[in-house]
Amino acid sequence: MATSSSGYDPFWMFRWPLSGDVNQRITAPWFSPSLTVKYAGDPVIEDRVVTEVASYGRQLGWLSEIVLALAANKPVPQDTLHRLKEAARNIEAIKNELRPPALEAARQALDRLEREEPQQYRELLGDRQSKIKR
């Protein structure tokens, strides 16, 4: 037990297991509600989609609702269909905003290769030039 209001206990080293304060914050990762997601596509695009458009669970819920209605020969819920179409438009807008055109992406990749691996860069250019001459 602490001997002062500051919480200092001069006998802290003489405690038996569980004889002192045992209410402590446990921050082990297995108790954490955080979630690490390994995206299949571009992580920047995927992160923006789930934070700005809709979570994967919400998107899956919309799809499930539509598919189940179709499977039961019932009309598709129009509000759900509208939300899904709006999400698809927003996702496409994010992709178009973040994804550079193929030529620009190739230039960026070649610039990086030249900086980081100059020998492989020269070999790649030589290989490409020999294919052009054929």
Task: Give mean pLDDT, residues 4-17.
Answer: 63
Nearest to 87 by CA among 124, 125, 120, 61: 61
SS3 call for 66: helix
Task: Give mean pLDDT, residues 11-15.
Answer: 65
What is the C-alpha separation between 26 and 24, in angstroms, rounded? 6
pLDDT at residue 35 tops 60: no
Predicted model pTM: 0.52
What is the C-alpha separation between 127 and 133, in angstroms, rounded? 10
* Pairwise pLDDT comparison (131 vs 4), residue with the higher score: 131
pLDDT at residue 2 tops 50: no
Beta strands in 41-133 (DSSP E): none
- Residue 71 in tokens: 């499977």
Residue-level pLDDT at 70: 97
pLDDT at residue 13 tops 80: no
